[in-house]
């Protein structure tokens, strides 16, 4: 098993299945009220350089349910925000706590924390990756479809952190993924390179209706991610046709499910009617962040 969760590329298929199996059993134990507490006495530091609802609350609650505690550390309140190097912050936190979750801009910061802290580091979102979300997404797909292998996911929108992580995650577990993005907004080059060895299972197109054909799962994400606020108006125009709507749903399989990592912008990347018709899956997906991350913390921090 891995020592850190810095990016989806860290995970083998076996790692992902181990995490999902543990997440499933933790979810059912939690519902029955007999959840184990393998992290008694342990502390998770949570560093946030960007806003969050789900990541913050699910990690903090998850750590508590596992018997430990979590510290919310806003980067602007840490000395890091005044220029203390990440390798020093890492070496200090490594003396106090048992694991670090970080949400930040640069992927390199997560890698540096992992290198210098001496304790498990979990990526809670960077501009490049969102591995915790993809574990919850795969867990949700498996719950609704009973399997992962052979299913087709269509991702419609920006080739951003969600897109990068979904491509790696889907291909690693044996799913097919078709990505529709506007020219110039393709996924990261590392992701394209990874996908080259899965040529039959990966498709990169510009036409959303092509990507959606016979999809079992449709997924999208905001047109302007955190940190791209200044580009938001221009992006509204670029992405105008990259929307999950009733017309696009007609191209997919009739029993296709819809995923959205949230927050959602109705009328932009997804219409209100399609969002509301798929809230059972979308809010199970949000709930599964808690269970998937508890499994990750239990596996890394015990």
Catalytic residue positions? 103, 130, 133, 221, 261, 289
CB of 107 to ligand CP, least distance (A): 16
Contact status: 125 vs ligand CP (CB under 6 A): yes
Q: Contacting ligand NVA (CB under 6 A), which of 221, 268, 269, 285?
A: 221
Contact status: 104 vs ligand NVA (CB under 6 A): no
Element (H or E) spanning 18, and its range?
Answer: helix 13-32
CB of 100 to ligand NVA, least distance (A): 19
Task: Please choose, out of 33-41, 51-59, 171-179, 233-241, the segment that lies near ligand CP by the rule CB under 6 A.
Answer: 51-59
Contact track, ligand CP, 221-260, x by CB under 6 A: ----------------------------------------
Identify which of residues 116 and 242 has a Cβ nearer to ligand NVA in the complex: 242
How buried is residue 102: exposed, middle or buried, by Cβ count under 10 Å (0-12/13-18/19+)?
buried
Helix 13-32 / helix 161-173 crossing angle, nearest 10 deg: 100
Residue 17 and residue 26: Cα distance in Å, rounded?
14
Enumerate residues 154-183 that contact ligand NVA by CB under 6 A.
Answer: 160-162
220 binds, among ligand NVA, ligand CP, none (CB under 5 to 8 A by kind): none
Q: Nearest 5°: phi and psi at 181?
A: -135, 155
- DSSP helix/strand/coil, 102: strand
Contact status: 261 vs ligand NVA (CB under 6 A): yes
Retrieve residue 239's tokens.
């992405």
Contact status: 222 vs ligand NVA (CB under 6 A): yes
53 binds, among ligand CP, ligand NVA, none (CB under 5 to 8 A by kind): ligand CP
Identify which of residues 1 and 57 has a Cβ nearer to ligand CP in the complex: 57
Angle subtended at Cα 27 by Cα 25 and Cα 29, rounded to the nearest 5 degrees: 70
49 binds, among ligand CP, ligand NVA, none (CB under 5 to 8 A by kind): none
Q: Contacting ligand CP (CB under 6 A), which of 12, 53, 272, 280?
A: 53
Element (H or E) spanning 217, and its range?
Answer: strand 217-220
CA-only gyration radius of the chain, Å = 19
Nearest residue to ligand NVA by CB is 225
The sign of the dihedral angle between the CA atoms of 257, 263, 269, 275 is positive
**Whether 261 contacts 285, CB under 8 Å:** yes
Contact status: 52 vs ligand CP (CB under 6 A): yes
Angle subtended at Cα 111 by Cα 107 and Cα 116, rounded to the nearest 5 degrees: 145
- DSSP helix/strand/coil, 195: helix
Give contact residues for ligand CP (rule: CB under 6 A): 52-55, 125, 133, 261-262
């Amino acid at each position: 098993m891995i020592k850190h969760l810095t990016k989806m590329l860290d995970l083998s298929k076996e790692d992902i299945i181990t995490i999902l199996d543990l997440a499933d059993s933790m979810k059912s134990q939690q519902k029955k009220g007999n959840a184990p507490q393998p992290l008694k006495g342990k502390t998770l530091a949570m560093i946030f350089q960007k806003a969050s609802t789900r990541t913050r609350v699910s990690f903090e609650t998850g750590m508590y349910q596992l018997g430990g505690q979590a510290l919310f550390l806003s980067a602007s309140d840490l000395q890091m925000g005044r220029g203390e190097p990440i390798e020093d912050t890492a070496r200090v936190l490594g003396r106090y706590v048992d694991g670090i979750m970080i949400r930040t801009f640069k992927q390199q910061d997560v890698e540096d924390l992992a290198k210098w802290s001496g304790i498990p580091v979990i990526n809670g979102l960077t501009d490049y990756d969102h591995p915790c979300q993809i574990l919850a997404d795969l867990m949700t797909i498996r719950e609704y479809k009973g399997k992962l292998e052979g299913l087709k996911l269509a991702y419609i929108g920006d080739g951003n952190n969600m897109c990068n992580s979904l491509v790696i995650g889907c291909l690693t577990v044996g799913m097919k993924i078709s990505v529709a993005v506007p020219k110039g907004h393709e996924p990261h080059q590392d992701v394209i390179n990874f996908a080259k060895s899965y040529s039959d299972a990966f498709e990169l197109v510009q036409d959303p209706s092509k990507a959606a054909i016979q999809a079992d799962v449709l997924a999208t994400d905001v047109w302007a991610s955190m940190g791209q606020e200044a580009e938001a108006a221009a992006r509204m125009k670029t992405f105008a046709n990259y929307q999950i709507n009733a017309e696009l749903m007609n191209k997919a399989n009739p029993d296709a499910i819809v995923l959205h990592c949230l927050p959602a912008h109705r009328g932009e990347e997804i219409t209100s009617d399609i969002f509301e018709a798929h809230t059972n899956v979308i809010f199970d997906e949000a709930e599964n962040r808690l269970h998937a991350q508890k499994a990750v913390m239990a596996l890394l921090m015990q």
